[in-house]
Amino acid sequence: MARLSSGAKLARVLTSIVSGSRTGTLEVTSADVTTILFFSQGSLVFAEQGTLGETLGRRLLREGKLTQEQYAAVIQQMTAALIESEQMRFGEVVVALGYLEPEEVSEALRAQVRRKLLCCFQWARIGVGWDPSPEPVRSVAHWPTPVLPVIVEGIREFWTLPQTLPTLGPNGERYLVLAKNAHDVSRQLELTPGESGFLRKIDGRTTVNQLRDGRGLDRLGRARLLCGLILTGGVRLANRALDPSKPPPPASSPEPSRVAVQRLAAQLAASRKRLERKSLVPPEDEHRAALEAEQAHQRGRTQMGYDAWPVAARELRRAADLQPEVIEYELYARWAEFRANPPSAGDARRARKKLMELTQRVRKKDRDNAFAWHVRGQLAALEGDDEGALKFFSRAYALDRGDNEAERFLRLLKRRLAKK
């Protein structure tokens, strides 16, 4: 029997937590990123993730809801408040300064929780650990977020065809029966119109293989949807086709796997002390360092916009030194230093190799990090790989329409390739 992929295991665990109305924290780890998901009676209410790009402020900035100047003003206000021994949250300051309404901040916070869960499905290798202790859940703000639709969205957005095989392959000759009527399943899982239409093909007399190889959606879309339905309990698997002369048996909710949850609790026991030591509200000195790092980072990025690379390098290096665990800070600092003091021919290869490794590490944490794609494009251009540079700059510009340098390179590369 094929082993379930890491993403499928995560989906099953999440479904078990929801259907079992469990309270506790689920730690999801991949590479250098750890996400802690907080559940209250089966509802996801909060999420912490060690990815700079997923902070509330960065999201509001990236989505155009805050300007660069407003973002800097919020960070400045938070730093000033901390000096006066008052720690303020980003959302509180945004509202106090009149940049957004409270409802807009609440909506953004819920979207942030959803996005942090969604990002867990982009990783190929995932480790999970469950802690049933209710105390951490009580100490965080609650932004209830439906989980099952996010599982389906994560599979839809990130899974490749090979990732669907461990779920579909062993069940290929089994029959699918909707757990509820098609309308309720579609609404619960927030399916697209095309996916909702596909549900009509699930009649209890068609196998997984027949549905996967049939019509409606494309092949990958069908495989992804079938995985999502199976892993969230939107369908149940039957060994025999339904008798059309008999009414279908009543649908039941998937039974949570106690053994699986107990196993996860055992896996987490070894790292429980580390989790307990992790403060949900950072110590004052650590919080101040984070704010000072972000201020230096923003100053450095501003100087990059003016091509003032020596000044930018100094500010960005300060940010990286203050927060060495934030790999994105290190990438910015290294790139600015590379631009401020171009290495000699002998050192250039080593410097480019280090930058390449940093872009890979950043993209492994957040594949939508526009700057990592931008630097990758620059490195490809330096190596004379115009086609690669075009691909990387296209991705960078699609993620950040304010990247004027990427846009300039795109025009240049398209003209150059057209002449070949």
Cβ atoms within 10 Å, residue 418: 7
Contacts of residue 362, defined as CB under 8 A and 6 or more positions apart, other chains included, come to: 327, 328, 331, 369, 371, 372
pLDDT, residue 343, reads 85
Cβ atoms within 10 Å, residue 186: 20
Strand 24-30 relative to strand 235-238: parallel, antiparallel, unpaired?
A: unpaired
The angle at the Cα of 14, spanning 9 to 19, to the nearest 5 degrees, equals 125
Spatial contact of 296 and 326, defined as CB atoms under 8 Å apart: no
Q: Of 103, 105, 115, which Cα lies nearest the Cα of 54?
A: 115
- Rounded CA separation 122/37 (Å): 16
Q: Distances in Å between the alpha carbon of 207 and those of 70, 173, 214, 217, 366? A: 55, 5, 10, 17, 37
- Residue 103 CB burial class (10 angstroms; 0-12, 13-18, ≥19): exposed
pLDDT, residue 143, reads 87
pLDDT, residue 96, reads 87
Rounded to the nearest angstrom, the gap between the alpha carbon of residue 8 and the centroid of all alpha carbons in its chain is 16
Domain boundaries, the chain: 6-145, 159-238, 285-419
What are the structure tokens assigned to 214, written together?
Answer: 């049939």
- Rounded CA separation 162/116 (Å): 24
pLDDT, residue 280, reads 41
Rounded mean pLDDT for each run of 10 residues along the chain, 420 residues in total = 68 92 90 85 86 72 86 85 62 87 87 89 84 88 91 94 92 92 93 92 92 89 95 93 64 44 48 41 66 90 89 93 90 94 84 93 85 95 92 93 90 86
Spatial contact of 105 and 95, defined as CB atoms under 8 Å apart: yes
* Helix 370-382 × helix 404-419 angle, to 10°: 40
- Rounded CA separation 57/108 (Å): 10
Matching residue, tokens 């580390």: 274
pLDDT, residue 109, reads 86
Contacts of residue 234, defined as CB under 8 A and 6 or more positions apart, other chains included, come to: 148, 178, 179, 180, 185, 188, 189, 228
pLDDT, residue 88, reads 62
Q: Of 192, 234, 235, 237, which Cα lies nearest the Cα of 217?
A: 192
- CATH for the stretch 285-419: 1.25.40.10
Cβ atoms within 10 Å, residue 154: 22
SS3 393: helix
- Rounded CA separation 349/342 (Å): 11
